[in-house]
């Protein structure tokens, strides 16, 4: 099939033009043509249509080949231009070629015409393709230059061959500084060989590698670059270049790091939180396994921290926690982890310690540091702490067990008093299990009505009358039988259950006392023990007043027993609460007096009525002169402060006689009665009013 070609013939001779066309048709072309022979006509033809080739005569009456060439150039179209003319001589031919003609053919020898046209059309197409590619390239580089991303092209050896302005801005290196250098110039050393190993493995296989690089700028500062590196293959499929495009995400990373830090640290103290603590412990274990050195986990709990919050406010509590954190940090070494796990719970990982003895030394140092006075918001404060310790690997092979066992140890530390530490021992678990069981059945005891009260009479040593009873709690455990309050009250206090149980005790005691009054068994009073936990906060006076209303017991018949330590935990609060209770007409007694450290003169500040001398002093008064003189000192001082005295735990007539001599007002103890049931109380009251049981009891002993 003939090839279509559009040909513009610049020729004054119609015959010559026809000759040309014939030649073309012969050569397998189907020419479409226009013939022009003036400047104007040529311009019109160029403007009107697009041409594959221009064939021009050299000299014409009104036009010439060189001018025709110029017109074509002005038109700025790259159309192959062939001069076909009679012999014009070599010089002119060369000039025409220089001016831009693509070929020169003599009219007498048209045999070269067809190959020349074919060649020129082909070359023009090639030129056009190149121009297009160049144009594309130009646009592309323009775009690459303008993007804010850093673009870098390296050869297979990692030598930089191209960088854009984004690269210059991001790295601080000029193009000249970068080109010819190795891409390694950006390495910060923050990512290990394995990172770059994976990168090279990926890209040399021809795959794209994407990740965040921590790179170094010319000025040495680091930046995060989210980069993808694309391998560029040549025609044979061999990777010859890599193109890297990257975004500077330093700010995002910094925000992310800050968030990460926040998620792993305690806001208040800046110490690692439980999450990071667990993480660090996880990492410390294999290190300890390898080194064979001691790894200790310390749990540190502040006793009664809640009190500080409640009485001095949360700000003060916060400052206290910060101060504790600081003291823990200064008491430990740099490599150790000090963390805050919860409210007032801190933890430490001691690593790389030689002997367990050294752990004890560090722990003692910590306890000493924590027990020194804190000066916070104009207050001088002291705290006591308990520390539980577990050691790897003896006390557990994994973090959870180590923490759990340190927790078991801390409970034992707390039980042994304040500012104590205990190492975990296997036998603690059995005890803890017992406690755990006790605790879970204790939780159900109230609703299952397993609690009951016993009552122990108090006898006036002058009138010999029963003046009242102390209500004492018992727990009828379904399997263990009756459990002593000494065993389960601390548990009730620790778990906070004492608040509910305490309310039940108060109500039950008041109800029972009221029922004795209603039965005309005498106007006896009822003494109820209050736990320090019940005394915390400000609700106890409301609770008591509501229960009195509910049970219709007159306030005068209720006596509340508190220990010295209950008051001393928070003297300011205690003064307010006690004043309220006393104002309601309730009698207030200090229980177990002598076992605490408070001085009588200090207790004078509080509206107290009665002082109960602890059983441990009464026990020995007949044998131990020291105890006897302490008891008489207590009695006379109490009297001078206007307090009446009750002696607890009176078991013998000798003790009774001695107490009578010392003018002790009342006694309570097994000599008269063990704690008895409500029904037994009723019997006792009836008997007592009929005859002088007091003397019978005393003389029969
Ligand atoms: P407490 O308030 O000092 O109670 C006196 C304790 O001494 C009672 O022990 C009582 O049974 C015992 N006792 C009385 N006379 C004698 C005696 O002559 N010899 C001996 N050896 N012991 C005597 P109990 O009932 O085991 O209570 C122990 C402690 O448990 C109480 O000491 C009190 O602190 C606490 N408690 C008992 N009931 C309650 C309660 O309802 N609420 C609270 N918060 N604590 C309670
Ligand atoms: Mg008591
Ligand atoms: Mg007592």
Q: In 10 A of CB 172, how many CB atoms? A: 15
Quote the pLDDT of residue 611.
94
DSSP state of 303: T
The answer to whether the CB of 594 is under 6 A from ligand 1 is no
pLDDT at res. 78: 83
Ligand 1 in contact with 472 (CB < 6 A)? yes
Determine whether the shortest distance from the Cβ of 649 to ligand 1 is under 6 A.
yes
Q: Which helix (H) or strand (E) holds 578?
A: helix 571-583
* Residue 670 Cβ < 6 Å to ligand 1: yes
pLDDT at 37 over 70: yes
Residue 677: pLDDT band (50, 70, 90) is very high
Tokens of 578: 């006690």
pLDDT tens per residue across span 15-25: 999 999 999 99
- pTM of the prediction? 0.53
651 CB near ligand 1 (under 6 Å): yes
Q: Tell me the pLDDT tens digit for each residue of 372-425.
A: 888 888 888 888 899 999 999 899 989 999 999 999 999 889 887 778 999 998
**pLDDT tens track for 227-281:** 999 999 888 888 899 999 999 999 988 888 888 888 899 989 999 999 999 999 9
Q: Verify whether ligand 1 is closer than 6 Å to residue 540 (CB atom).
A: no
Residue nearest to atom 43 of ligand 1 (CA): 529
For residue 450, the model assigns a pLDDT of: 96
Alpha-carbon span 338 to 69, nearest angstrom: 89
Give the confidence band of 288 by pLDDT, cuts at 50, 70, 90.
very high
Q: Which residue has the higher pLDDT, 343 or 227?
A: 227
Residue nearest to atom 20 of ligand 1 (CA): 649
Alpha-carbon distance of 562 to 304, in angstroms, equals 17
Ligand closest to the CA atom of residue 559: 2
Cα of 519 vs centre of ligand 2, distance in Å, is: 26
Does ligand 1 have an atom closer than 6 angstroms to the CB of 485? yes
Looking at 305-309, 475-479, 578-582, which range is the least confident one? 305-309
Q: What is the mean pLDDT of residues 497-505?
A: 94
Q: How far apart are CA 280 and CA 292, in angstroms?
A: 18
Check if 486 has its Cβ closer than 6 Å to any atom of ligand 1.
Answer: yes
Among 88, 93, 87, CA closest to 109: 87
Q: Please provide the average confidence, as pLDDT, over all residues in the chain.
A: 90
Please tell me the residue having the least CA distance from ligand 1 atom 3.
Answer: 592
Cα separation of 24 and 33, whole Å?
Answer: 11
Query: What is the CB neighbour count within 10 angstroms for residue 313?
Result: 12
Q: Is the minimum distance from the CB of 614 to ligand 1 under 6 angstroms? A: no
Please name the residue that has the structure tokens 């495009």: 245
Name the residue with the closest Cα to ligand 1, atom 41: 473
Q: Please write down the long-range contacts of 278-281, taking CB distance under 8 Å and 24 or more positions apart.
A: 278/399, 278/403, 280/337, 280/339, 280/349, 281/337, 281/349, 281/399, 281/402, 281/403
Res 581: pLDDT: 96
Confidence band of 334 (pLDDT split at 50, 70, 90):
confident
> Which tens digits make up the pLDDT trace of 44-74?
999 998 899 999 999 899 999 999 999 988 8
**Ordered strands of the 345-353 beta sheet:** 337-342, 345-353, 294-302, 385-392, 420-423
- 472 Cα–ligand 1 center, Å: 6
CA of residue 394 to ligand 1 center, whole Å:
40
Select from 585, 579, 584, 583 the least CA-distant residue to 567: 579
């Amino acid at each position: 099939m003939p090839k279509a070609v559009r040909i513009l013939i610049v020729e004054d001779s119609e015959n010559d033009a026809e000759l040309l066309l014939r030649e073309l048709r012969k050569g397998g072309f189907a020419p479409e043509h226009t013939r022009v022979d003036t400047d104007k006509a040529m311009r019109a033809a160029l403007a009107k249509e697009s041409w594959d080739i221009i064939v021009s005569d050299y000299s014409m009456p009104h036009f010439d080949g060189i001018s025709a060439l110029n017109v074509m150039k002005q038109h700025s179209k790259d159309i192959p231009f062939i001069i076909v003319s009679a012999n014009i001589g070599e010089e002119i031919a060369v000039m025409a070629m220089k001016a831009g003609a693509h070929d020169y053919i003599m009219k007498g020898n048209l045999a070269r015409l067809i190959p020349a046209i074919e060649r020129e059309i082909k070359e023009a197409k090639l030129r056009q393709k190149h121009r297009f590619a160049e144009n594309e390239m130009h646009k592309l580089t323009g775009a690459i230059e303008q993007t804010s991303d850093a673009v870098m092209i390296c050869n297979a050896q990692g030598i930089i061959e191209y960088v854009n302005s984004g690269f210059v801005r991001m790295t601080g290196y000029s193009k000249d500084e970068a080109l010819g250098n190795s891409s390694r110039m950006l390495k910060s050393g923050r990512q290990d060989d394995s990172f770059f190993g994976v990168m090279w493995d990926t890209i040399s296989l021809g795959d794209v590698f994407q990740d965040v690089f921590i790179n170094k700028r010319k000025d040495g500062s680091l930046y995060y670059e989210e980069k993808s590196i694309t391998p560029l293959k040549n025609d044979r499929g061999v990777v010859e270049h890599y193109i890297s495009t990257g975004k500077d995400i330093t700010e995002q990373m910094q925000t992310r790091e800050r968030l990460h830090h926040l998620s792993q640290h305690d806001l208040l103290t800046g110490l690692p939180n439980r999450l990071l603590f667990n993480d660090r412990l996880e990492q410390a274990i294999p290190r300890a396994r390898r080194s064979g050195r001691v790894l200790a986990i310390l749990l540190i709990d502040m006793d009664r921290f809640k009190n500080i919050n409640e009485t001095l406010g949360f700000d003060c509590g916060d400052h206290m926690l910060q101060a504790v954190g600081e003291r823990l940090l200064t008491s430990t070494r740099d490599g150790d982890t000090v963390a805050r796990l919860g409210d007032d719970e801190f933890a430490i990982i001691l690593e790389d310690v030689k002997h367990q003895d050294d752990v004890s030394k560090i722990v003692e140092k910590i306890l000493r540091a924590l027990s020194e006075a804190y000066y916070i918001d104009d207050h001088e404060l002291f705290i006591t702490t308990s520390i539980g310790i577990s050691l790897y690997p003896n006390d557990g092979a994994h973090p959870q067990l180590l923490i759990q066992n340190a927790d078991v140890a801390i409970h034992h530390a707390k039980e042994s008093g304040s500012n104590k530490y205990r190492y975990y021992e296997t036998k603690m678990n059995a005890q803890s299990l017992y406690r755990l069981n006790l605790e879970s059945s204790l939780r159900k005891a109230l609703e299952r009505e397993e609690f009951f009260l016993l009552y122990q009479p108090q006898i006036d040593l002058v009138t010999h009358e029963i003046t009242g009873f102390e209500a004492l709690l018992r727990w009828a455990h379904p399997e263990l039988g009756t459990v002593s309050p000494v065993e389960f009250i601390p548990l009730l206090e620790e778990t906070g259950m004492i608040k509910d149980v305490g309310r039940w005790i108060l109500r039950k005691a008041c109800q029972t006392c009221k029922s004795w009054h209603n039965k005309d068994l005498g106007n006896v009073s009822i003494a109820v023990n209050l736990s320090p936990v019940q005394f915390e906060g400000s609700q106890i006076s409301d609770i008591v007043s509501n229960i009195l209303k509910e049970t219709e017991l007159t306030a005068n018949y209720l006596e509340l027993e508190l220990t010295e330590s209950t008051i001393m935990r928070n003297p300011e609060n205690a003064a307010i609460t006690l004043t309220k209770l006393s104002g309601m007409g309730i009698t207030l007694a200090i229980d177990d007096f002598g076992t605490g450290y408070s001085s009588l003169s200090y207790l004078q500040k509080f509206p107290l009525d009665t002082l109960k001398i602890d059983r441990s002093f009464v026990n020995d008064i007949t044998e131990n002169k020291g105890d006897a003189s302490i008891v008489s000192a207590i009695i006379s001082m109490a009297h001078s402060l206007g307090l009446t005295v009750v002696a607890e735990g009176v078991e013998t007539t000798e003790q009774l006689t001695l107490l009578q001599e010392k003018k002790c007002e009342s006694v309570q103890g097994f000599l008269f009665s063990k704690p008895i049931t409500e029904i037994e109380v009723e019997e006792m009251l009836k008997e007592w009013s009929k005859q002088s049981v007091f003397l019978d009891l005393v003389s029969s002993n």
